[in-house]
Structure 1
Amino acid sequence: MQVPKKLIDRSNFLIENGRFVTLATQSPDGAWASTVNYVPLREPLRLLWYSLREARHSQNIHAHPMVSGSIFVTGLPGLGLDGAQFTGRASPVTGDNLEHISEFYYQRNFPDDETRQNWRLPLSEFHGEGHRRFYVVEIDSWWLLDVDQWLVDMNDQRVAVPLAPLVRK
């Protein structure tokens, strides 16, 4: 089945421009939602962010790595907003890849050198006894707000979008 180009374009716009994801995690005490500032990674499609190790969502990821999330952007022409939902598996970034991931995150999130230097935390914060970790969620399912159908019947529905066309921008 051919995926409509507009669904791929909308998905890529959200992935590249959303900046924040509401991440839903689970623990024995129940569900929890947190908003985190992400940058996208492709091949496979992933979202990267950092959080405190002791944050509730970080602890939940350690115990139950399956997560879901939503990304939305407002102020758009037409309907005024667009949004996506996803599911995936989250994990902390460890090992030799940490320095590269940190550099990518800060370069992508803060393109201006001065701003980046003001926000950059030392790499020691992200391993060993450091208080923070980079996390990545590898997305396994993706849905968009079905804007076309909403314009017909105002029913709030989602349309599934296959991941293969979203791997590369």
Structure 2
Amino acid sequence: MTTGSGSEYADHVARSTHLLDHGRFTTLATLGEDGPWASTVNFVALRDPLRLLYYSLHRSRHSRNIGARPDIAGSVHLLGTPGFGLDGAQFTGHCEAVPASEVLWHRQVYYELNHPDPEVRAAWLLPESDFTGDGPRRFYVVRVHRWWLLDIDRWLTDKHDTRVEVDLAELARPARPARPPRPPRP
């Protein structure tokens, strides 16, 4: 869980929040019949509980792997961060395709968070039909089970490349403006 060393890097919740709010890409590690596979996808973070929302072609190797084995691992990193210049997190979780009944809500949230400017959003917005039925894409949600940060304090002390686990309950609080309400459950 989070620890305090008194340094500028000890605020693991703030660092994690910065990664979740400003990191745009995560690399997902999956396992399938052909062995392990890593894929980089564009995500947005949803909170309470912590989830990562992204879309991908449903016939891609990582999507097929997730369909067969939904437990995944992943990482997020940013360069050019204040202080140390880089930061990163690793996580484990469970990933599933968004049910067709919830696609409209997830599509709206994904595009609003990923492209806050309406003109930019309109340029990137794919039709809802791309994500349902015979459409080539699906939205996926990673429910994060555990989250670790690069232990910058340790690195600066003895150059040991270690991680520190962050309490997920602390990351549940949204740091962005209010989001649309959750989709109704059938």
Percent identity of paired positions between Structure 1 and Structure 2: 53
What does residue range 19-168 of structure 1 map to in structure 2 within 5 Å? 19-168=24-173
Provide the rounded CA distance (Å) in 1 between the counterparts of 2:97 and 2:56.
10
Structure 2: which 5+ residue stretches go unaligned?
Answer: 5-9, 175-186
Q: How far off is 1:156 after superposition?
A: 0.7
Provide the rounded CA distance (Å) in 1 between the counterparts of 2:53 and 2:82.
28
Q: What is the SS of the residue equivalent to 1:88?
A: strand
TM-score (norm. length: structure 2): 0.87
Provide the rounded CA distance (Å) in 1 between the counterparts of 2:85 and 2:158.
17
TM-score (norm. length: structure 1): 0.96
Q: What is the SS of the residue equivalent to 2:90?
A: strand
Q: How far off is 1:28 after superposition?
A: 2.2
Structure 1: which 5+ residue stretches go unaligned?
Answer: none
Provide the rounded CA distance (Å) in 2 between the counterparts of 1:102 and 1:59.
21
Q: Which amino acid aligns with 1:18?
A: G
Q: Which amino acid aligns with 1:92?
A: A
Q: How far off is 1:3 after superposition?
A: 5.0
Provide the rounded CA distance (Å) in 1 between the counterparts of 2:172 and 2:81.
24
Detail structure 1 runs of 4+ shifted over 6 Å in the superposition: none
Q: How far off is 1:72 after superposition?
A: 0.5
Match of 2:21 among 16, 21, 26: 16
